[in-house]
């Protein structure tokens, strides 16, 4: 997030797009509710009638995968109505002229034909955000899990730049990060393009820095993404080390994924449980988890906080850093002689410009948000206040692209996937906690009541849902939360392995899977017996 969580109580106009915040980031959503109680207006763009809609002034019910069109239409109106922040454009951005010329083409009528939102609503939303004194954008995977995820994010950046809604309280471009430490995983360099602290591996200066630190020259080329690695499994990729990820259940195109993992010569998995992925491994290491592990994690607002051990892990389970370090040492790798989490964190801080001012003791109370460039620096709750790191904000000329797969006669229904409040991902944890089943015990497919009738199925009956990759059996729930022609389910229940269906395409830049759009065919299923079992 460009802005701190506490800023969520400060906007006068909130624009939420592709974020089911009341279910996926419920505590953050409470702050938006407070802003609204204090008079803020909210625009929600989402195909579904999600919980946020209840609190919203406007609901833009766009067709799945059409975000870029909607955002172009909004940018058109903002430009046409002269709601741009001229001063901000002149001082802080570049390519503004080309962008303002570019958006002339994309009228609300043009956008409406693609995204199904009436042109007058696009106008109203654009005026509302464009006239805001403090306009804030919040988004989640509904923006990024598309083949045009990067385009979508850049479209949001364009809106914020043209209205100067960056670098001030209650504004910003705020992605809500999904997992407890997904921000940290990128921060620490567990990505193919960057060393810790987002230092590009392709920069020879960084290469030299890490060669000096670790005594080994590291490729100047980027690594490959997980998506490519799974594609190359059994071919160029022969072995994998997977820490704490149930790849088989949470990644798209399960059949492909299972084939990939099985094609490996050797697979090592660290986890809390014998997950579906661990079942395929040659060696499984027992990791310590929440309440058992000392360490640090970094949240969606870039805040580094301490995790503390309250109870010993079961049996012989060990912290992940210990497992990986001991394995590295057995393989003859140097520099893994850590005796506690503190040693690891302090080394990270010594190598990362964003964490440079931190160490184990300084993050004791969790008051720092990175970047913290040097000791004594108070941290940076709000990014881009005085300028952009790269100089100026660059407008990008985005065009709308169709999803990788679109509905047709054979697969006439849009499936979009997501999460539910009471369960977390593949339920390895929530599914093993007492009481959660009282609230949510099974997966359902949310279908508009009129579609339920039109498709000759019944509320509560079983259907077979098939995509170009596979089929699952799932129970229907009639609800107007889904728009007509679009159905929704989560991927949490292993007996409805929705990732059998998804995986039609990937963003060409980030390799992020298009999990939010998958054309399917739905037909009645006679048997109430579902395949598969488990949590």
Partner 1 sequence: MSDETGRTIFLDGEEVPFDIGETIFQVAERYRKDIPTLCYDDRLEAFGGCRLCVVEIEGARTPVASCTTMAEPGMRITTKSGSLEMHRRVLLEMVVSENREVDVDELSGYASQEMKNLVDRYSARTGRFAGDKSGVSRPDDPNPFILRDYENCISCYRCVRVCAEQEGDYAISIMNRGFETQITTEFGGLLKDSSCTFCGQCIQTCPTGALGDLKALRHVEVEEPIEKTRSVCTYCGVGCALDIMTKGDQVVGIQPAMDGPANEGALCVKGQFAFDFVHHPDRLKTPFIRDDHGQLVPATWDQALDKAAAGLLEAVNEHGRHSLYAIASGRAPNEAGFTMQKFVRAGLGTSYIDNCSRA
Which of 239, 453, 454, 480 touches partner 1 (CB under 8 A)? 239
Q: How far is the CB of 358 from partner 1 (least distance, A)?
A: 11
Query: With CB under 8 A as the contact rule, which of the stretches 105-113, 126-134, 163-171, 190-198 interacts with partner 1?
Result: 190-198
Question: 240, 398, 404, 517: which one contacts partner 1 (CB under 8 A)?
Answer: 240
Q: What is the distance between the alpha carbons of residues 428 and 293, in angstroms, rounded to a whole number? A: 18
- Residues that bind partner 1 (rule: CB under 8 A) add up to a total of 148
Q: Return the range that interacts with partner 1 (CB under 8 A); candidates 67-75, 84-92, 119-127, 434-442.
A: 434-442
> Residues in the chain, how many?
535
Sole binder of partner 1 in the list 118, 119, 178, 373 (CB under 8 A): 178
Long-range contacts of 330-338 (CB under 8 A, 24+ apart): 334/214, 334/215, 334/216, 335/214, 335/215
Q: How far apart are CA 261 and CA 234, in angstroms?
A: 8
Residue selected from 97, 101, 255, 367 as contacting partner 1 according to rule CB under 8 A:
367
Tell me the two tokens of residue 346: 């302090």
Residue linked to tokens 């954008």:
137
* Site for partner 1 contains 341 (CB under 8 A): yes
Please check whether residue 205 is in contact with residue 353, taking contact to mean a CB–CB distance below 8 angstroms. Answer: no
Instruction: Map tokens 């919040």 to a residue.
Output: 138
74 vs 141 by CB, closer to partner 1: 141
The site map against partner 1 for 193-232 (x = CB under 8 A) is: x-xx----x--------x---xxxxxx-xxxxxxx-x---
CB of 355 or CB of 414, closer to partner 1: 355
Q: Shortest distance, CB of residue 306 to partner 1, whole angstroms?
A: 7
Tokens representing 94?
A: 């570049």
Residue from 7, 12, 123, 245 touching partner 1 (CB under 8 A): that is 245
Nearer to partner 1, 212 or 408 (CB): 212
Residue from 70, 43, 63 nearest 55 by CA: 43
Residue 155 phi/psi, 5-degree rounding, is -65, -40
Closer to partner 1 by CB, 131 or 377: give it: 377
Q: Which is nearer to partner 1, 112 or 296 (CB)?
A: 296
d(CA 362, CA 305): 10
Q: Does 271 bind partner 1 (CB under 8 A)?
A: yes
Strands 444-447 and 471-478, how do they pair?
A: parallel
Pairing state of beta strands 135-139 and 444-447? unpaired
Smallest gap from Cβ 375 to partner 1, in A, equals 19
Question: Distance (Å, rounded) from C-alpha 452 to C-alpha 476?
Answer: 8
CA nearest neighbour of 78 among 129, 11, 140: 129
Pairing assessment for the beta strands 462-466 and 518-524 based on DSSP bridges = antiparallel
CB-nearer residue toward partner 1: 71 or 268? 268
Q: How far is the CB of 336 from partner 1 (least distance, A)?
A: 7
* Region 497-516 residues binding partner 1, contact defined as CB under 8 A: 510-513, 515
Helices (H) and strands (E) in the chain, counts: 18, 20
Out of 438, 526, 527, 528, the residue judged to bind partner 1 by CB under 8 A: 438
Confirm or reject binding of residue 479 to partner 1 (CB under 8 A). Answer: no
User: What tokens does 215 get?
Assistant: 């005594």
User: Could you say which residues in the range 139-158 bind partner 1, by CB under 8 A?
Assistant: 145
């Amino acid at each position: 997030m460009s802005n701190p969580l506490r800023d969520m109580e400060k906007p006068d106009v909130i624009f939420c797009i592709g974020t089911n915040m009341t279910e996926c980031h419920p505590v953050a959503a409470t702050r938006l509710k407070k802003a609204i109680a204090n008079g803020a207006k909210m625009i929600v763009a989402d195909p579904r009638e999600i919980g946020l809609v209840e609190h919203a002034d406007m609901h833009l019910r766009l067709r799945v995968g059409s975000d870029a069109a909607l955002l172009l239409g909004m940018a058109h109106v903002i430009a046409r109505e002269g709601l741009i922040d001229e001063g901000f454009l002149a001082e802080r951005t570049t390519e503004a002229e080309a962008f303002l010329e570019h958006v002339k083409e994309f009228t609300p009528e043009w956008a409406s034909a693609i995204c199904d939102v009436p042109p007058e609503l696009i106008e109203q939303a654009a005026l509302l955000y464009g006239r805001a004194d403090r306009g804030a954008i919040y988004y989640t995977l509904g923006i990024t899990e598309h083949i045009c995820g990067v385009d979508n994010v850049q479209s949001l950046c364009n809106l914020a730049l043209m209205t100067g809604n960056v670098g001030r309280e209650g504004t910003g471009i705020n992605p809500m990060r999904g997992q407890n430490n997904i921000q940290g995983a990128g921060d620490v360099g567990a990505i193919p393009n960057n060393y810790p602290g987002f230092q590009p591996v392709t920069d020879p200066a960084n290469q030299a820095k890490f060669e000096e630190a670790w005594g080994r020259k590291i490729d100047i080329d980027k690594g490959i993404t997980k998506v490519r690695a799974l594609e190359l499994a059994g071919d160029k990729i022969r072995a994998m080390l997977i820490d704490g990820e149930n790849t088989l259940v949470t990644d798209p195109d399960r059949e492909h994924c299972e084939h990939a993992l099985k094609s490996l010569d050797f697979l090592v998995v660290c986890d809390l449980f014998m997950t579906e992925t661990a079942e395929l491994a040659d060696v499984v290491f027992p990791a310590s988890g929440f309440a058992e592990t000392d360490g640090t994690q970094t949240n969606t607002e870039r805040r580094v906080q301490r995790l503390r051990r309250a109870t010993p892990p079961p049996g012989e389970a060990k912290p992940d850093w210990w497992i990986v370090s001991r394995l590295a040492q057995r393989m003859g790798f140097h520099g893994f002689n850590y005796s506690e989490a503190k040693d690891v964190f302090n080394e990270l801080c010594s190598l990362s410009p964003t964490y440079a001012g931190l160490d184990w003791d300084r993050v004791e109370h969790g008051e720092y948000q990175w970047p913290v460039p040097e000791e004594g620096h108070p941290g940076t709750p709000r990014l881009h206040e005085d300028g952009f790191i790269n100089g100026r904000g660059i407008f990008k000329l985005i065009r709308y692209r169709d999803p990788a797969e679109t509905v047709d006669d054979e697969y006439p229904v849009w499936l979009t996937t997501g999460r539910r409040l009471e369960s977390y991902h593949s339920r390895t944890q929530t599914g093993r906690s007492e009481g959660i089943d009282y609230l949510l015990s099974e997966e359902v497919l949310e279908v508009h009541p009129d579609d339920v009738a039109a498709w000759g199925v019944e509320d509560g009956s079983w259907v077979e849902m098939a995509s170009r990759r596979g089929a699952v059996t799932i129970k229907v729930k009639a609800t107007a939360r889904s728009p007509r022609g679009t159905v929704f389910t989560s991927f949490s229940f292993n007996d409805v392995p929705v990732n059998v269906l998804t995986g039609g395409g990937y963003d060409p830049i980030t390799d992020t899977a298009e999990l939010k759009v998958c054309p399917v065919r739905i037909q009645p299923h006679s048997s109430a017996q579902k395949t598969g079992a488990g949590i």
